[in-house]
Amino acid sequence: MRFAYADPPYLGCAVRLYGDHPEAAVYDTVEGHRALVERLCDEFDGWALSMTSGNLHDLLPLCPKASRVMAWVKPFASFKPNVPVAYAWEPVIVRGGRKRDKQQDTVRDWCAANITMQKGLPGAKPAEFCNWIFSVLNVHPGDELVDLFPGSGNVGAAWESWQRQRRMFA
Ligand SMILES: C[S@@+](CC[C@H](N)C(=O)[O-])C[C@H]1O[C@@H](n2cnc3c(N)ncnc32)[C@H](O)[C@@H]1O
């Protein structure tokens, strides 16, 4: 099966945070995100899409009704002096995935994991978050997982390690 994780620049933050990418401005438009959601629906059996909570109003209506809104909560997140209520969780919209069999554990629709302290790329995802996405989508070793916005490469590295471990204990 074919899965995707999409971690685009968040609407309204694209040029500010990722202006070194020549086409970052696309993701400061709702139309850019609409095209991404259409691609996810057309090309993949299951996908997960990250965003910031302030984007839900604009982006959730672009997603199929059967999508689910899940949460990445961040026990440790960056507190900014001019933001009195911190942004300490992020929505993840999930669609499709492999059907679970009765032997498989139930997976929560939220994950608690600290942000990475990685310098250089804002938004690099921690391995615990990636593993949770793999479980939610119920990917199996040998499936194709396309990381559409690789950035630091953390998601790809977590995927390789996750497959290795699953194969070892299969
Ligand atoms: C939120 S970051 C991805 C972080 C990644 N998931 C990680 O764990 O490191 C978004 C990435 O998309 C890239 N990007 C910006 N505009 C883009 C565009 N139009 N097409 C593809 N990638 C783009 C940015 O340079 C950045 O690396």
CA neighbor of 70 nearest in space, from 46, 49, 39, 101 = 49
Calpha distance 15→9 (Å, rounded):
8
Question: Is the distance from the beta carbon of residue 50 to the nearest atom of ligand 1 less than 6 Å?
Answer: no
Question: Is the distance from the beta carbon of residue 123 to the nearest atom of ligand 1 less than 6 Å?
Answer: yes
Looking at ligand 1, which residue's alpha carbon is closest to its atom 8?
A: 124
Calpha distance 55→118 (Å, rounded):
24
Calpha distance 1→119 (Å, rounded):
34
For residue 70, the cross-strand partners are 92
- Cα 89 to ligand 1 centroid, rounded to whole Å: 19
Quote the tokens at residue 36: 């991404």
Question: Is the distance from the beta carbon of residue 24 to the nearest atom of ligand 1 less than 6 Å?
Answer: yes
Per-residue pLDDT tens over the stretch 77-110:
889 999 999 999 999 999 999 999 999 999 999 9
Residue type, 142: G
Calpha distance 163→167 (Å, rounded):
6
Predicted local confidence at residue 119, as pLDDT: 65
Q: 8-12, 71-75, 113-117: which has the minimum mean pLDDT?
A: 113-117
Q: Closest ligand 1 atom, CA of 26? A: 19
Q: Closest ligand 1 atom, CA of 123? A: 1
Residues 6+ apart with CB under 8 A from 57: none
Question: Is the distance from the beta carbon of residue 159 to the nearest atom of ligand 1 less than 6 Å?
Answer: no
Per-residue pLDDT tens over the stretch 15-49:
999 999 999 999 999 999 999 999 999 999 999 99
Question: Is the distance from the beta carbon of residue 33 to the nearest atom of ligand 1 less than 6 Å?
Answer: no
**Cβ neighbour number for residue 73 with a 10 Å cutoff:** 12
Question: Is the distance from the beta carbon of residue 166 to the nearest atom of ligand 1 less than 6 Å?
Answer: no
Question: Is the distance from the beta carbon of residue 7 to the nearest atom of ligand 1 less than 6 Å?
Answer: yes
Per-residue pLDDT tens over the stretch 100-153:
999 999 999 999 999 998 767 889 999 999 999 999 999 999 999 999 999 999
Handedness of CA 127, 35, 138, 109 (dihedral sign): positive
pLDDT higher than threshold 70 for residue 158 = yes
